[in-house]
């Protein structure tokens, strides 16, 4: 059987003029995971439109497309094309799960939720000539998942070819997050076994890893055992975590650092605590954000702070306040988003019920456009403030100010190199992407992550200031 797996891209990622580095960071891990279930006799290809031009003149038997909200239009276009040519088209992923009725008119089969239970069932049905039109994931487990088909990934096209997930979902329930909708009807958070996770890590070449788990620290016993197992593997890694995990899992965090954690993406989301209540981001309420940043910095871990603008308590001053706070804390990189009510989230329902959605053009639901009526800002104030925040945070003056918060010359230089590297050298990234050698910058990333600080001993007590 000829199987073609496709990750379509949103228009911005395919521009002939300029390619932002963010679209050449990670390979299509979800599709490579699904490919693991195919048989050796199958002829399989995996195409990622973010990094390569799609060849659409072939005639596969089965076309598998992963659909995100911002690439839905493109995904449906490709799906329609292959269906017209007689291929069986299977659509799945986050957007299909949110809006199955929209997706099913472009597919022979759709999949709701994660694919580890439904996909092998479908393959069996398909080979038997009786595929169903819709599969709904209910049995959630990562036990017995076959090895990811990383051989299908064109490593040289990515800055971070070694992305990995060892869990699915998250134990929290924030109002704006995709995850409650995606995992409904079954477990909302589950992990691999530690042994399976360590075996997967072992299979990855080189030193650098990026854990794409929504919340790698979501199960402290799992995280602790994983980091114990990773000690001595000589890895450098990055991941995402919460303020709560940073402040309240001291032993786990120390073990993470000892096993190679060098930079953490932290969901601060808002510096306005009233917003946290509104978005049900309870795990951040009453927590000392500055203490979290200090703690990470003391352990030599760089911070990528994530912030969302446009929540109902945000007024015109929110942009400057957020940027100032982030610079004062010495946060190395920041990711700003405009609040976006993804379909099938509690936030979307609330906005729709209040008549606040401006449109349903999914192309623009990319966290860079305003798609709803904000409460204390106009849509144009919100959009302008968002872009200003990026400009203000990444101007050289701000980068140098942020660097001043570091105690040593080495720390300051590292801050400048890392913060400047992302936004100030986009044209160089663009060149590298075009020459199809993005991975060649990986040693530079590793060098910046390399940390000469004395490592803390696992098991040391939490610092007094946190008590």
360-363 long-range CB contacts below 8 Å, 24 or more apart? 362/69, 362/70, 362/72, 362/73, 362/95, 363/10, 363/11, 363/70, 363/73
Helix, strand and coil content of the chain, in percent to the nearest 5, comes to 45, 15, 40
**420: part of which helix (H) or strand (E)?**
helix 409-423
Q: Which of 2, 20, 22, 400: binder of ligand B12 (CB under 6 A)? A: 22
Number of helical H runs and strand E runs in the chain: 19, 14
Q: How far is the CB of 164 from ligand SF4 (least distance, A)?
A: 17
Position 215 contacts ligand SF4 (CB under 6 A) = yes
Residue 245 or 293 having the CB closest to ligand SF4:
245
Of 310-339, binders to ligand SF4 (CB under 6 A) are none
Q: 12-26 burial by CB neighbour count: b if 16+ within 10 A, else e? A: bbbeeeebebebbbb
Residue 159 or 416 having the CB closest to ligand B12:
159
Interaction partner, residue 158 (ligand SF4, ligand B12, none; CB < 5-8 Å by kind): none
Position 177 contacts ligand B12 (CB under 6 A) = yes
- CA pair distance 46, 57, nearest whole angstrom: 15
Q: Which of 117, 125, 363, 366: binder of ligand B12 (CB under 6 A)? A: 366
Residue 44 or 177 having the CB closest to ligand SF4:
177
Kind of pairing, strands 88-92 and 43-48?
unpaired
Cβ contacts of residue 355 below 8 Å, gap of 6+? none
Interaction partner, residue 301 (ligand SF4, ligand B12, none; CB < 5-8 Å by kind): none
Of 223-282, binders to ligand SF4 (CB under 6 A) are 242, 267
Structure tokens at 135: 């599969």
User: Measured on CA atoms in the order 424, 448, 24, 338, is the torsion positive or negative?
Assistant: negative
Position 214 contacts ligand B12 (CB under 6 A) = yes
Q: How far is the CB of 462 from ligand SF4 (least distance, A)?
A: 22
Instruction: Give the three-state DSSP class for 78.
Output: helix
Q: How far is the CB of 280 from ligand SF4 (least distance, A)?
A: 9
Q: Which of 51, 78, 177, 299: binder of ligand SF4 (CB under 6 A)? A: 177
Q: Which of 3, 4, 6, 10: binder of ligand B12 (CB under 6 A)? A: 10
Q: Which of 19, 106, 140, 179: binder of ligand SF4 (CB under 6 A)? A: 179
- CA pair distance 123, 236, nearest whole angstrom: 37
Position 304 contacts ligand SF4 (CB under 6 A) = no
The Cβ-side half-sphere exposure at 59, using a 13 Å CA radius, reads: 3
Position 71 contacts ligand B12 (CB under 6 A) = yes
Position 99 contacts ligand B12 (CB under 6 A) = no
- CA pair distance 449, 208, nearest whole angstrom: 9
Position 172 contacts ligand SF4 (CB under 6 A) = yes
Interaction partner, residue 267 (ligand SF4, ligand B12, none; CB < 5-8 Å by kind): ligand SF4
- CA pair distance 136, 97, nearest whole angstrom: 9
Of 220-279, binders to ligand B12 (CB under 6 A) are none
Cα distances (Å, whole numbers) of residue 38 to 108, 118, 134, 185, 414: 19, 13, 19, 26, 44
Position 68 contacts ligand B12 (CB under 6 A) = yes
Position 114 contacts ligand B12 (CB under 6 A) = yes
Position 298 contacts ligand B12 (CB under 6 A) = no
Taking phi over 0 as left and psi of -120 to 50 as alpha, with beta for the rest, 131 belongs to beta
Residue 88 or 294 having the CB closest to ligand B12:
88
Q: How far is the CB of 245 from ligand SF4 (least distance, A)?
A: 10
Backbone Cα Rg of the chain: 22
Q: How far is the CB of 335 from ligand B12 (least distance, A)?
A: 7
Interaction partner, residue 172 (ligand SF4, ligand B12, none; CB < 5-8 Å by kind): ligand SF4
Residue 52 or 450 having the CB closest to ligand B12:
52
Contact positions toward ligand SF4, by CB under 6 A?
A: 170, 172-174, 177, 179, 214-215, 242, 267
């Amino acid at each position: 059987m000829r199987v073609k797996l496709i990750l379509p891209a949103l228009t911005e990622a395919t521009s002939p003029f300029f390619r932002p580095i963010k679209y050449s960071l990670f390979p299509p891990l979800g599709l490579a995971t699904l490919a693991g279930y195919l048989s050796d006799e199958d002829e399989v290809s995996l195409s990622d439109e973010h990094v390569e031009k799609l060849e659409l003149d072939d005639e596969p038997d089965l076309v598998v497309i992963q659909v995100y909200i911002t690439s839905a239009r493109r995904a449906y276009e490709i799906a329609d094309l292959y269906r017209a040519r007689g291929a069986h088209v299977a659509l799945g992923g986050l957007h299909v799960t949110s809006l199955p009725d929209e997706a099913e008119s472009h597919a022979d089969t759709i999949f709701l939720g994660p694919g580890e239970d439904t996909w092998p069932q479908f393959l069996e049905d398909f080979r038997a000539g009786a595929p169903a039109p819709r599969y709904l994931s209910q049995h959630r487990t990562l036990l017995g998942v076959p090895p990811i088909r990383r051989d299908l990934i064109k490593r040289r096209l990515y800055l971070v070819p070694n992305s990995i997930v060892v869990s699915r979902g998250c134990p929290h329930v924030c109002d704006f997050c995709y995850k409650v909708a995606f995992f409904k009807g079954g477990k909302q958070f589950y992990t691999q076994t530690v042994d399976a996770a360590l075996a997967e890590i072992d299979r990855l070449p080189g030193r650098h890893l990026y854990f794409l788990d929504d919340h790698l620290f979501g199960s402290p016993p799992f995280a602790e055992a994983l980091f114990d197992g990773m000690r001595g593997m000589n890895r450098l890694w990055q991941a995402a975590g919460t303020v709560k995990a940073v402040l309240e899992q001291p032993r786990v965090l120390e073990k993470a650092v000892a096993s190679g954690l060098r930079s953490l993406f932290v969901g601060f989301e808002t510096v306005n605590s009233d917003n946290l209540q509104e978005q049900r981001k309870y795990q951040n309420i009453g927590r000392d954000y500055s203490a979290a940043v200090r703690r990470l910095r003391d352990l030599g871990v760089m911070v990528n702070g994530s912030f969302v603008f446009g929540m109902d308590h945000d007024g015109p001053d929110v942009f400057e306040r957020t940027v100032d706070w982030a610079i004062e804390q010495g946060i190395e990189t920041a990711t700003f988003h405009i609040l976006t009510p993804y379909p099938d989230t509690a936030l979307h329902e609330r906005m729709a019920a209040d008549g606040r959605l401006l449109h349903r053009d999914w192309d623009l639901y990319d966290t860079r456009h305003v798609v709803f009526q904000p409460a204390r800002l106009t849509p144009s104030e919100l959009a302008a403030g968002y872009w200003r925040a990026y400009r203000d945070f990444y101007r050289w003056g701000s980068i140098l100010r942020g660097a001043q918060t570091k105690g040593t010359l080495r720390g300051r230089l590292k801050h400048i190199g890392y913060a400047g590297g992302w936004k100030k050298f986009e044209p160089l990234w663009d060149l590298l992407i075009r020459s199809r050698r993005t991975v060649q910058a990986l040693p530079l990333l590793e060098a910046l992550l390399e940390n000469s600080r004395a490592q803390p001993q696992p098991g040391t007590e939490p610092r007094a200031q946190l008590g």
